[in-house]
Chain A
Amino acid sequence: MERKHSFEIKIDDLEKSFDQLQVLKRINLSIAAGEFVAIVGHSGCGKSTLLRLIAGLDKPTSGKVSINGENINTVNESIRYLFQEPRLLPWETVENNISLGMKKSDSGRILDALNSVGLSSKQKEWPKNLSGGQKQRVALARALVSDPGVLLLDEPLGALDALTKIEMQRLIESLWNKQGFTAILVTHDVDEAVYLADRVFVMEGGKIKDEIEIALGRPRISGSDKVYYTNLILKQILQKEFEDPVGEENFVI
């Protein structure tokens, strides 16, 4: 597939501590341009912190993040971030909210972005009048309107209902196909990770514990292949609990 961008991300010996607490321990990752990777793990395993470091929102204690060989130490225009909440400005219309993602407002591109998320009719609407899924679509349009090289997704679908979630996953996949950005998704949802990512990293205690390549064609429909990967990853994440005898006793009941 032809890719418009080539934003390669490299993370070398990245560490982050807050006071005495070490959140990230010697993270080494290499993400190819245009690749879609997912990071899964328990809450508090450091995955969101990692994403914030890549975004340039926080500074690493040691080590570095580089994009195409350039060190990232502050927020970067070519990196866009999709939060768990839409974080739209309630006092601006949908189109103005999207314009926030551009250096110079351009109504043609705003309309294109709205079209691409299927909300062209909501251009003049206040965010208050949109559903949760629609708000997140506007946030996605805002993130992608500037045609970024990297999209960071911090559990952006966590608050949506199951059906809307599936729609959004498809939408994100198709936009990724079209625009060719490099994507890093942080999620609790293993199924979502398997659906979207080329590679899934399992994080635990601030370390990358495992890396699983999802060798499935796209689009990925539910089936035994997908279930195989889901189970494989879940086993990695839940290993501790499986090994724990007390936990096993609980399972017997």
Chain B
Amino acid sequence: MKIINKHLWKNIFSWMLPIGLIIIWYLVTSFGGTKLRFPTPQAVVVRGIGMLKTGELQSYILVSTQRALLGFLLGGVIGFLLGLITGLSVKANILLNTTIQMFRNIPVLAIIPLAIAWFGVGERLKIYLVAFGTFFPIYANTFHGIQSVDKDLLEMGKVYGLSKGSIFRRIIFPSALSSVLVGVRLSLGIMWLVLIAAETVATDAGIGYMAMTARGLFQMDKVVLSIVLYAILGKISDVIAVGLESTFLRWRK
């Protein structure tokens, strides 16, 4: 009983600040006069409900989520595989790691002009940009995870006559997994970040498109609604990442 109460209090406590901010937002925008270029929370909610009714909102969210996940999948898989290769093979590490680390310092936004020139402004642009952004955290953390496998455990596996496959499956991979999941969590955050930037460049659907067209029409409630949407989607991604960690890393609890 006490434990439940403690848990409940912790939850209430952690939501106090965001709820407080919304209350302040309400007070300031409702009584702060019309000079503020900021909508009231009610206006944002009304806009949201209106767009839900027409189905516009759902389709934007769907399009954006699709782009985000496809890009994440592409970047994540490549990052994971390359991290495995450079982590496991000294030769591959020498050959590839310096180059990959160099690319890492390029801001994703800096390659947008180049990417537009190459891929145009279609779907591929957004997916590739997200892939580019999500690649590095997963690559770097996979590499690091494999490099930091306990040498004592590897020696134990060797003495116990495990095959190379078993050593990878039972020692190297599970040991690297916690680090890989840290990469996944970082990448999920970056995924939305890059997508927002990509969607504001040029597009005809998605949350970024919604924000850009609303800005043009000075519909500030719609602009804020898109920001709120990104916040919610980001939070959902993070909850999923934490869920993955607690499923796959049960043994750490």
Q: A residues near B, CB below 8 A?
A: 55, 57, 75-77, 80-81, 83, 85, 87, 89-92, 100-101, 126-128, 142
Contacts and interface: CB of A to CB of B under 8 A. Distances in A.
Contact of B170 (A87, A100, A101): A100
Nearest to B152: A87
Main secondary structure of the interface of A (DSSP, over half): loop
Interface of B: 152-153, 155-162, 170-171, 174-175, 177, 249-252
B174 A89 contact: yes
B251 to A, nearest CB: 5
21 contacts: A75-B159, A75-B161, A76-B161, A80-B159, A83-B152, A85-B152, A87-B152, A87-B155, A89-B153, A89-B170, A89-B171, A90-B251, A91-B174, A91-B251, A92-B170, A100-B157, A100-B162, A100-B170, A126-B250, A128-B251, A142-B160
A12 B75 CA distance: 57
B158 A57 contact: yes
A136 to B, nearest CB: 13
Contacts, number: 47
A68 to B, nearest CB: 18
Nearest to B249: A91
B195 to A, nearest CB: 33
B251 A126 contact: yes
Contacts of A81: 156, 159-160
Nearest to B175: A91
A187 B88 CA distance: 35
Contacts of A126: 250-251
A55 B251 contact: no
